[in-house]
Amino acid sequence: MFDHLSLGVTDLARSAAFYDATLFALGYVRLAQNARSVCYGPPGFVGEAPFAIIAHGDAAQAPGAGFHLAFRAPDRAAVDAFHAAALEHGGVDEGGPGIRAHYDPGYYAAFVRDPDGHRLEAVVHERPSTLHAGPGPERGQ
């Protein structure tokens, strides 16, 4: 459905450091940059970068209540690393890594706000067979 998305940021260098770390944790890399923007996506991606941050100075504003951007993670460890990297690079905790059973029993996610207040999520959708259930006979115990 979507081709690409960009977010306006107040300080490009600060935001690039944040997104370099958080997106790297999810397996994404910096694809391109110029004086006004930094673009990210999967390694080797060709074409319009799926995600970019664009310098807008003091005019940059995060969208209001109800908006968030979810990045796909390959596994729980990546979600955990995303959350830790965000907090280490100026992000604000909006909900630590964990199962969000009210969404789905296999919905493992973490939520943060970037330095400009954009609400972000990293999520992995696990199949029930990959969930980490306690010991029991059905798990070969």
51: Cβ contacts below 8 Å, ≥ 6 apart: 4, 5, 6, 23, 28, 39, 40, 41
Is residue 36 assigned to a domain?
Answer: yes
**Half-sphere exposure (CA, 13 Å, Cβ side) for 97?**
17
Q: What is the mean pLDDT of residues 99-121?
A: 95
**pLDDT tops 90 at residue 138:** no
Is residue 84 assigned to a domain?
Answer: yes
Residue 2 is predicted with a pLDDT of 86
**pLDDT tops 50 at residue 130:** yes
Q: Show the domain range for 55.
A: 5-133
Residue pLDDT, tens place only, 59-73: 999 998 999 999 999
Residue 128 is predicted with a pLDDT of 65
Is residue 141 assigned to a domain?
Answer: no
| Number of domains within the chain | 1
pTM of the full structure: 0.88
Arithmetic mean of pLDDT over the chain: 91
Is residue 125 assigned to a domain?
Answer: yes
Is residue 138 assigned to a domain?
Answer: no
Is residue 31 assigned to a domain?
Answer: yes
- CATH number of 116's domain: 3.10.180.10
97: Cβ contacts below 8 Å, ≥ 6 apart: 76, 79, 80, 83, 108, 109, 110
**pLDDT tops 60 at residue 7:** yes
Is residue 139 assigned to a domain?
Answer: no
Is residue 72 assigned to a domain?
Answer: yes
